Amino acid sequence: SATLRWGVPRPRAAKRVIVAQAGAGSYKVAILGAAGGVGEPLSLLIKMSPLVSALHLYDIATVNGVTADLSHCNTPVEVAGFTGKEELAGSLAGADVVVITAGVPRKPGMTLDDLFSTNAGIVKELVEAVADHAPGALIHIITNPVNSTVPIAAEVLKWKGAYDPRKLFGVTTLGVVRANAFVAATKGLPLADVDVPVVGGHAGTTIVPLLSKARPKAAFTDEEVEELTARVQNAGTEVVEAKAGAGSATLSMAYAAARFLEASLRGLDGDADVYECAYVQSQVVPELPFFASRVKLGREGVEEVVGSELRGLSEYEARALEALKPQLKASIDKGIALVQQQQ
Ligand code: NAI
């Protein structure tokens, strides 16, 4: 079948196999926050990517252990560690993609918005450094609350004169991965075939899986729609509670981030027809300057924001979309205001 390293369909699988055999990956990736719960397993997955030539690991905590450990895996990706702020610039030099996963995760009882004050400052500082030392790189933001940290990053980049909206992404792939897994289980479908677009934002009820647009086409009862939607929206909390104070989703997040990275690299590499959902600057919902929907990925990042899936929604989805607008708008405005106040 036309799949799969990380679950991404591969229309040109034959070419990819040759690249993997030759060890001819050519992209440089920097992970900021690489010593963390998400950063470590994500580093491992990237170390296995046939598209990557160099992996730079940066954290304020030491990354020496992770770097030494990973460097013993006999894949061609070269791994280098950068610990502490004085090494941040070096970690970014030459990066094609910068993945930001630095920040504090949720503990039981916290909402994603509770992370705002700490994580906003971290994202601001790191994106400033990306503007200075890796202008032109794609930026993948994992750090929550994504609904606000992406607008923060955009404002910082504008202020630095380095904003290209095609290159800034909030990573919402975990919502898609979860929706695919839950729909496959509920409907007894083969996992690799299921594709559910997830739109809106990336926190609670701003996350809207479009079950009416799921492939393969499946019929859902009203109860199934409500249960599946609520489960996708609350899946993060499910993990936070199961980990009971030890953090939030890390392994599934790393998997999702690796899938989104691979799609982005395939876009940079010129593969046709690379589509993923992501939270980007958008005009598909006029009152929301940032919105997650399916995007086409190409040589410069976002080649096209696909709005067509928002047409012909079920009544339930249309209501959910209307209901998320004030909350998502408030999160966007909060991020923008933070940067503007500090200038
Ligand atoms: P963690 O606490 O295990 O790791 C965070 C890492 O960031 C630590 O190694 C820490 O030293 C580092 N860090 C903190 N400040 C830094 C700075 N200024 N510069 C560089 N590194 C810095 O947390 P975890 O579980 O890895 O989560 C990281 C972030 O990812 C959290 O904000 C979490 O909410 C978010 N997340 C997002 C998801 C999504 O779907 N977008 C899903 C899961 C987590």
Specify the range with the lowest mean pLDDT, choosing from 18-27, 142-151, 209-218, 273-282: 18-27
Distance, in Å, from the CA atom of 173 to the CA atom of 279, rounded to the nearest integer, reads 9
Ligand 1 atom closest to Cα of 58?
Answer: 20
Share of the chain above pLDDT 70, in %: 93
- Kindly provide the residue ranges of all beta strands, DSSP E only, lying in 191-236, ordered along the sequence: 198-200, 207-209
SS (H, E, C) 41-101: HHHHHHHCCCCEEEEEEEECCCCHHHHHHHHCCCCCCEEEEEECHHHHHHHHCCCCEEEEC
173 CB under 6 A from ligand 1? no
- Is any ligand 1 atom within 6 A of the Cβ of residue 175? no
Ramachandran area for residue 247 (φ above 0: left; ψ -120 to 50: alpha; else beta): left
Phi/psi-derived region of residue 142, left when phi > 0, alpha when psi is between -120 and 50, beta in every other case = alpha
Q: Per-residue pLDDT averaged across 181-199, rounded? A: 97
Query: Bridge partners of 59?
Result: 83
Average pLDDT, the chain: 93
Annotated catalytic residue: which of 56, 133, 140, 202?
Answer: 202
Q: How far is it, in rounded angstroms, from Cα 39 to Cα 27? A: 18
Computed over its alpha carbons, how large is the radius of gyration of the chain? 19
In this predicted structure, the answer to whether residue 3 has a pLDDT above a threshold of 70 is no
Q: Is the ipTM of this complex over 0.95?
A: yes
For the segment 242-281, what is each residue's pLDDT rounded down to a tens digit? 999 899 999 999 999 999 999 999 999 999 999 999 999 9
Task: Give the Å distance between the CA of 32 and the centre of ligand 1.
Answer: 9
pLDDT tens by residue, 127-171: 999 999 999 999 999 999 999 999 999 999 999 999 999 999 999
Q: Does the annotation mark 72 as catalytic?
A: no
Residue 61 CA: nearest ligand 1 atom is 11
- Tell me if 77 sits within 8 A of 54, measured CB to CB: yes
Ligand 1: centre distance to CA 146 (Å): 12
Query: What is the 75 CA–ligand 1 centroid distance (Å)?
Result: 26
Question: What are the DSSP calls for 253-302, one per residue?
Answer: HHHHHHHHHHHHHHHHTT-S--EEEEEEE--SSTT-SEEEEEEEEETTEE
Does ligand 1 have an atom closer than 6 angstroms to the CB of 197?
no
Q: Region of 255 please: left (phi>0), alpha (psi -120 to 50) or beta.
A: alpha
Q: 207 is written with which tokens?
A: 């996350």
Q: What is the pTM of this model?
A: 0.94
Q: Best substitution site from 118, 128, 142, 150 to test ligand 1's pocket, by max atoms within 8 Å of Cβ?
A: 142
Cα 33 to Cα 102: distance, rounded to the nearest angstrom: 4
Share of the chain above pLDDT 90, in %: 88
